[in-house]
Amino acid sequence: MAKSTKATTTRRLRKRARDEDETQLEPAAKQQKIAPEAKEETAPTSVFRFLDLPPELRNQIYNIALRETHRIFPTATFWKEHQRITRSRKPKPTTTPSKTTDPPLPYMALGQTCAQIRAEFHPQWLNQVCVPLCTIEPFIQTFFPSTQRKTTTTTTGRLQLWRGVDRIRIFLRPSELERRNITRLVKLRNRLPDVTFEFSHLEWQESKIQPVDMQQLLNNRHPVWLHWLKTHAVSAVHVALYNPDPIRIVVKDKDAPGWMRNYFSNIPDKYLESLGLEWARSGSIKFGVDYC
pLDDT one-digit tens code per residue, 226-236: 999 999 999 99
Confidence category of residue 101, pLDDT binned at 50, 70, 90: very low
pLDDT at 161: 54
Q: Note the pLDDT tens digit of each residue in 228-280.
A: 999 999 999 999 888 888 899 999 999 999 999 887 888 998 999 999 999 88
CB burial of residue 191 (10 Å; 0-12, 13-18, 19+): middle
Higher pLDDT, 45 or 183: 183
CB-based contacts of 192, cutoff 8 Å, min separation 6: 144, 162, 165, 168
pLDDT tier, 15 (very low <50, low <70, confident <90, very high otherwise): low
The pLDDT of residue 220 is above 90: yes
- Mean pLDDT to the nearest integer, 185-189: 91
From CA 94, how far away is CA 16, in angstroms rounded? 68
CB 180 within 8 A of CB 135: no
Give the residue extent of every domain in the chain. Answer: 52-165, 179-194+202-292
pLDDT score of 11 more than 80: no
Q: Tell me, what's the pLDDT at 204?
A: 77
- Cα–Cα nearest to 291, from 263, 268, 269: 263
Q: For residue 100, what pLDDT band results from cuts at 50, 70 and 90? A: very low
**Per-residue pLDDT, 88:** 45
Which pTM was predicted? 0.68
Which range of 88-92, 160-164, 256-260 scores highest in mean pLDDT? It is 256-260
Task: Encode burial over 21-58: b for 16+ CB neighbours within 10 A, e otherwise.
Answer: eeeeeeeeeeeeeeeeeeeeeeeeeeeeeeeeeeeeeb
Average pLDDT of the chain, as a whole number: 76
